[in-house]
Amino acid sequence: MRSRAYLPVTIAAALLIGLLAYGLTSTGADTTLDAATASGERVAPPTQGSLPVLGGQGTGSLADYKGKVVLVNVWASWCEPCRDELPLIEKAHEMLAQRGGTVLGIDVKENSGAALEAIEEFGLSFPNLRDRDGGYVREWGQTGYPESYVIDRKGRVAAVRRLPVTQRWLDETLPPLLDEPA
């Protein structure tokens, strides 16, 4: 009788421990991209998903920019470092646009009204998508704001920046990729 009672208790305890372990391990950021790009490797983007276009109709994705060098910039108007970085990102877009590239902004966790106000305030001319709850950038192993990812002409991730970009980082990262054939 007593041994029969042990079985469900053991199963319940094992399930509880498994649940706790899953909860703990599923919250950490994925560092696969960082490790790959740090070793000079180029990898496929972690997601090919599409997102709603900010201030427009329909959806957009990286696939829309095939053959271009894309600087993906993760930003939000409530993020002060993002606001400080936006003028530099706009400048980078102007340079990229002349050489077959673009910036693709991913506006995260804010209402479209606030995001559009910031676009007007900073005079941003690059396209933007909306990651309403941050689920898209989480797949890129996002750890903070702002962040930038550089996609080469073959659609592979060539660089990851987990901090605000600097002019030096842009100068070292973008021109070599722009010189590569599609």
Partner 1 sequence: MMLRRLLPLALLVLALLAPAALGAAPRASLTDSEDEVMCLECGTALNVSNSAVADQEREFIAELIAQGKSKQQVKAALVEEYGPRVLAEPSDDGFELTAWLVPLLAAAAALGLVAFTAGRWRRARPAAADAGDPALDVDDERRLDAELAAFDR
Under the binding rule (CB under 8 A), the answer on residue 112 touching partner 1 is yes
Under the binding rule (CB under 8 A), the answer on residue 23 touching partner 1 is yes
Under the binding rule (CB under 8 A), the answer on residue 103 touching partner 1 is no
Under the binding rule (CB under 8 A), the answer on residue 19 touching partner 1 is yes
Nearest to 63 by CA among 125, 124, 127, 154: 154
CB of 78 to partner 1, least distance (A): 4
Residue 133: burial class (beta carbons within 10 Å; 0-12, 13-18, 19+) = exposed
Under the binding rule (CB under 8 A), the answer on residue 47 touching partner 1 is no
Nearest to 90 by CA among 57, 141, 127: 127
Residue nearer to partner 1 on the CB measure, 110 or 147: 110
Number of residues located near partner 1, criterion CB under 8 A: 19
Q: At what angle do helices 167-179 and 80-98 cross, to 10 degrees?
A: 30
Residue nearer to partner 1 on the CB measure, 42 or 109: 109
